[in-house]
């Protein structure tokens, strides 16, 4: 039987170790995430998830929000794209959702405080019973600064992957989602106003290619 000489075995072993080491060194930057091109970017809003906005999740790779279709207070069909050109805080809510009911006055106060041609709170009811139930509730709690919108199909929840209520999306002027909060929040807080001011100021036009 053929047997390798000890010297040859040592040489082959050394070569093998060199090859293994070379492969490791070449591949190391990729395991560490170095030298690998990525489309993930740091959101200009990353530093604003603090205080009352601690649950806000900024999106480093903004993507277009589905062009939702819903009704305004007169029953006319409108689309989310009709609001392009301003930063929109899209709040999905329902009259049967207790946390939604509790945060509505704060959303109303936020619109009253900083609503403008650059920013709008869009509170979208997903009540299947339609406009009148939502209208009655907003009147009951004396909401005066939020326009009434309703999606009687409740399809908006699924189209924006808002599987819990309330879900609130912050949408850039170009229609991209730049972050969201699932659950209620203190929307009239200084932290919320700072977050929105930064969204308006920065434009947040980063989009993955």
Residue-wise pLDDT tens digits, 28-75: 343 344 443 445 578 999 999 999 999 999 998 999 999 999 999 999
Distance linking the first and last C-alpha atoms of the chain: 62
H or E element in which residue 33 lies: none
Give the rounded percent of residues in the chain with a pLDDT score beyond 70.
Answer: 78
Number of H helices, E strands in the chain: 5, 8
Q: Assess whether pLDDT exceeds 90 at residue 176.
A: yes
Number of other CB atoms surrounding residue 24 within 10 Å:
10
Tokens of 120: 């709008």
Q: Is 35 left (phi over 0), alpha (psi -120 to 50) or beta?
A: left
Beta bridge partners of 78: 70
Q: What local confidence, expressed as pLDDT, does residue 130 receive? A: 86
Query: Domain 46-202 belongs to what topology?
Result: Glutaredoxin (3.40.30)
Number of other CB atoms surrounding residue 197 within 10 Å:
15
For the chain, domain boundaries: 1-37, 46-202
Q: Assess whether pLDDT exceeds 60 at residue 8.
A: no
* Cα separation, 93 vs 189, whole angstroms: 19
Contact 183, 196 (CB under 8 A): no
Q: What local confidence, expressed as pLDDT, does residue 5 receive? A: 59
């Amino acid at each position: 039987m053929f047997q390798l000489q000890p010297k040859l075995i040592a040489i082959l072993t050394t070569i093998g170790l060199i090859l293994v080491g070379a492969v490791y060194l070449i591949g190391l930057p990729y395991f560490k995430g170095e030298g690998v091109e990525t489309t993930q970017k740091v959101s200009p809003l990353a530093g604003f998830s603090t205080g009352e906005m601690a649950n806000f999740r900024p999106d480093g790779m903004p993507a277009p929000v589905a062009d939702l279709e819903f009704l305004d207070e007169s029953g006319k069909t409108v689309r989310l794209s009709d609001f392009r050109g301003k930063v929109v805080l899209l709040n999905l809510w329902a009259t049967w959702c207790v946390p939604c009911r509790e945060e509505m006055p704060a959303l109303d106060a936020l619109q009253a405080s900083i609503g403008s041609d650059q920013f709008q709170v869009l509170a979208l009811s997903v009540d299947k019973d339609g406009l009148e139930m939502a209208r009655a509730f907003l009147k009951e709690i004396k909401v005066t600064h939020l326009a009434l919108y309703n999606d009687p199909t409740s399809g908006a929840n699924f189209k924006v992957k808002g599987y819990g209520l309330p879900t609130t999306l912050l949408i850039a002027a170009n229609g991209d989602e730049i972050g969201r909060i699932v659950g209620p929040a203190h929307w009239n807080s200084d932290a919320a106003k700072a977050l929105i001011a930064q969204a308006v100021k920065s434009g947040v036009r980063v989009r993955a290619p």
